[in-house]
Amino acid sequence: MSIVAAKRALFALLLSSAIAAPSAAQDVSAVALRPIDRATVRIVSVRGLDIRAVQGRRTRVARVLANPLTSHGSGVAITPELVLTARHVVWGADAWAVFPPGASTPIAARPVYVDPVHDIAFLQVDRALSHHVPLPEARQLTMSERVSVSGYPLDVREPIPAAASGEVSRVTRLGELHLTMSVNPGHSGGPVIDGEGRIVGIVSARGRPERGVEGLVIAVTLPNVLAARAHVPSERLRFGEADRDLAQAIALLISEDDLADQMNAIGPIVQRMAARQDVDANRDVLVAGLAWNTLLELLEARSARAPEQLPPADQQTGRFLHQSARLLATRALHQGPHIRRRFPIVRAIALGHLDTEAQRPAPFR
């Protein structure tokens, strides 16, 4: 194909994308969001990076990918900078990111109050959210009253919240609000609202169908949420560039962006992280895992076993990703030995093994 023909083909491709874009946007707006949906956010927590052994789809080389151990849930903005969610959505993690509805750009977040008794947590976000629904005063619920929930069930990449509806079943002697409805994993922490759009609780758990419990949702009641809200410190957390980079790294780890977008986004993050003086092992290893996965994706896309076999135009990027990933992983190992347990991939990255079955001498004397 001549250069001119190639340019025409590229133009045609861009044109078809441009035409396709509005239709995709129309799909998104096919269902109108309620105010509560616009205030309902996606929360992703990262708990580690495991090893995933794979075979290169083109090179057939044995590789190990960084497999992010994430959990995701839902939350609702009750002020522009404060998100209410369930405690189990945030605990046991060291990095959190919040995504407003329809957004793929993450917002850095950290827990500011975690309730020791009830399944309640509050996250503060780095920048003001466009929509929020304030907590109302508590009121008495009515048996069989219609309620609905908003949240992000199942697919962590789905940017638009999903609704479920049902009715108030009872409030138990332990103070749990039981609802008759079906929700799915990912709905946790999402708001329960009444017919007038007021928050009456948050989703905490669901009945287990494998144990014969169906159509039951357990929620935290509004009075408990209000009591916990009173403990949220008034002092505001400060977020920095590293927090924003970490949130972006989380977004990239779970994204399905194409390779070019991924490489464009990751380069500056890796550079900034490698240059940081205030080293944080968790942060380093997450970014190392991201650089590592991107490198492996690049190698497979170009049918290369190692960075040296990449086309000249990609060699610099390949070497940069390989060296940066190794540097960050090695630095993380020295700073935080605990990451060996939570991030088992760190050893492979630090050793730099792009082909786990490559012949080489054993390093033992």
Partner 1 sequence: MSLRLLCIATFVCLLALGCGRRRVNYQPTGPQVAGQQGWAQPRIAQPGQAVTPQDGWMWAEINPRGLGLACRMPATPRYEQRIGREDDGAFYRSVSARVTVPYGNFGVIVTEWEGGIVGDPLDAAHDLANTVFSEQQLTERRSKRLDVAGFYGREDTGVGPNGAFVALRQFVGARRIYVAFAIVARAHGPLGSAEAFMSSIRLDTGDAIFPVGGSSERASAIFVPETDFAVRMPPLSSRRTEDLTIGDYTLTTHSFVAETPGARLRVRVIDLPERADLEVVQEITQGLALGQLGAPVSASGFPGNAFTRTSGNVAIDGRLFITASRMYVIEAARPSTQPASALAREFFESFRIL
The residue ranges that bind partner 1 (CB under 8 A) are 45, 51, 53, 62, 64, 87, 90-94, 96, 111-117, 121, 231-233, 281-282, 333-338, 340-348, 350-351, 353, 355-358, 362-365
Q: Based on CB atoms, which residue is closest to partner 1, 211 or 365?
A: 365
Shortest reach from residue 264's CB to partner 1, in Å: 28
Shortest reach from residue 250's CB to partner 1, in Å: 14
Q: Based on CB atoms, which residue is closest to partner 1, 195 or 233?
A: 233
Q: Based on CB atoms, which residue is closest to partner 1, 139 or 338?
A: 338
Q: Which two tokens stand for residue 238?
A: 């400060």
The residues near 189 (Cβ < 8 Å, ≥ 6 apart) are 43, 73, 74, 75, 76, 84, 85, 86, 89, 121, 151, 202, 203
Q: Are 241 and 232 spatial neighbours (Cβ–Cβ below 8 Å)?
A: no
Q: Based on CB atoms, which residue is closest to partner 1, 315 or 356?
A: 356
SS3 of the chain: helix, strand, coil, percent, to 5: 35, 25, 35
Q: Which two tokens stand for residue 195?
A: 């017919």
Q: Based on CB atoms, which residue is closest to partner 1, 33 or 61?
A: 61
Q: Are 34 and 329 spatial neighbours (Cβ–Cβ below 8 Å)?
A: no
Residue found under tokens 């039981």: 178
What kind and span of H or E run contains 45?
strand 40-55
As a whole number of angstroms, the distance between CA 309 and CA 299 comes to: 8
**Which among 295, 54, 74 is positioned nearest to 199, based on CA atoms?**
74
73 CB-side CA count, 13 A: 28
Backbone phi, then psi, for 342, in 5-degree steps?
-85, -20
Shortest reach from residue 223's CB to partner 1, in Å: 16
Q: Based on CB atoms, which residue is closest to partner 1, 168 or 296?
A: 296
Shortest reach from residue 237's CB to partner 1, in Å: 11
Shortest reach from residue 235's CB to partner 1, in Å: 9
As a whole number of angstroms, the distance between CA 99 and CA 324 comes to: 27
Q: Based on CB atoms, which residue is closest to partner 1, 173 or 341?
A: 341
As a whole number of angstroms, the distance between CA 318 and CA 292 comes to: 10
Shortest reach from residue 279's CB to partner 1, in Å: 11
Shortest reach from residue 203's CB to partner 1, in Å: 18
Angle between helix axes 259-275 and 312-335 (nearest 10 degrees) is 40
Q: Based on CB atoms, which residue is closest to partner 1, 36 or 107?
A: 107
Shortest reach from residue 59's CB to partner 1, in Å: 15
